[in-house]
Amino acid sequence: MSKRLQDKVAFVTGAGSGIGAATALRFAEEGALVVLCGRQASPLEGVKEQILAQGGRAEVAVADVSDEQAYVAALQGTAQRHGRLDILVNNAMAYTWGGIDSMTTADWHANFATTVDGTFWGTRTAMQLMQGRGGSIVNIASICGVFGTAWMAGYSAAKAAVINFSRAAASEGAPHNIRCNVIIPGVVDTPATAGMLGDAKARANTEKVIPMRRVGLPVELANAILFLASDEASYVTGASLAVDGGRSSDLYTVLE
């Protein structure tokens, strides 16, 4: 039996840790050649070694997703080397923290450079490269893009933009069999959330408001991304899938 992504060429941004690394590992397990993209080579090489040790295939592409020229070149180079690009996961993100009344314009813009601009550049380039063959684009948003989040206005606005941009991309790509979907994570145990989950009390308070009473694991997000990237989701486009332990479905959490 062939694997779910057998011989597919997949490009994953933010692949050095967290959701991106878990996604790259799952893609490789399912037969894809995975190009690991990020700003720093060392963590990417670490993920690559894990994949190779398990018999998978992986390459490293060091590029800053907030740099249009570098990111587009990395995607185009992948397609040139392998003859195609089948899957793109726009997972890289950046955020600033602070109140609206004290937020600088630079801090505001910093939330959009990677999350929105990078997602646009990546999606645009992937749609060009996938013409005539089809493909799957999975953009990673956040529960902060669905609900207002104090002190994270820029990040929340950027992730909301990703959700609606992806709907437009899905509409434009559908006639060409290019699918575009969104994963909406809740709180996931990654290096990015280490600060808010750094002690037992903070973690317990976070888990209290999640109906499943726990934070998510990166592999649980990766499994959902894998489904949307695979041909099993061949008739799914323009969807936004929450993977959040029920957090976005719950208006009033009953505390035990």
List of the chain residues with pLDDT < 50: none
Cβ 243 vs Cβ 186: under 8 Å: yes
Task: Tell me if 209 is assigned to some domain.
Answer: no
**What pLDDT is stored for residue 208 in this prediction?**
64
Six token digits for residue 169:
């991309």
> CA-to-CA distance for 25 and 58, rounded, in angstroms?
9
**What pLDDT is stored for residue 95 in this prediction?**
84
> Which domain covers residue 149, as residue numbers?
9-189+217-247
Task: Tell me if 203 is assigned to some domain.
Answer: no
Cβ 89 vs Cβ 66: under 8 Å: no
> CA-to-CA distance for 244 and 222, rounded, in angstroms?
13
How confident is the model over 15-52, as pLDDT tens digits? 999 999 999 999 999 999 999 999 999 999 999 999 99
**What pLDDT is stored for residue 193 in this prediction?**
57
Task: Tell me if 211 is assigned to some domain.
Answer: no
**What pLDDT is stored for residue 126 in this prediction?**
98
Structural domain count, the chain:
1
> CA-to-CA distance for 190 and 205, rounded, in angstroms?
17
DSSP characters over 129-182: HHTTT-EEEEEE--GGGTS--TTBHHHHHHHHHHHHHHHHHHHHHGGGTEEEEE
**What pLDDT is stored for residue 186 in this prediction?**
87
The DSSP letter of residue 113 is I
Task: Tell me if 84 is assigned to some domain.
Answer: yes
Cβ 53 vs Cβ 102: under 8 Å: no
Task: Tell me if 3 is assigned to some domain.
Answer: no
CATH of the domain at 85: 3.40.50.720
Task: Tell me if 165 is assigned to some domain.
Answer: yes
Is 155 one of the catalytic residues? yes
Distances (CA, A) of 60 to 85, 181, 228: 15, 24, 23
How confident is the model over 233-243, as pLDDT tens digits? 999 999 999 99
Task: Tell me if 194 is assigned to some domain.
Answer: no
Tell me the pTM: 0.94
> CA-to-CA distance for 121 and 63, rounded, in angstroms?
13
**What pLDDT is stored for residue 254 in this prediction?**
58
Report the chain's mean pLDDT, rounded to a whole number: 92
Task: Tell me if 199 is assigned to some domain.
Answer: no
**Which one from 95, 155, 235, 252 is the annotated catalytic residue?**
155
> CA-to-CA distance for 238 and 60, rounded, in angstroms?
29
- The residue assigned the tokens 């709180």 is 187
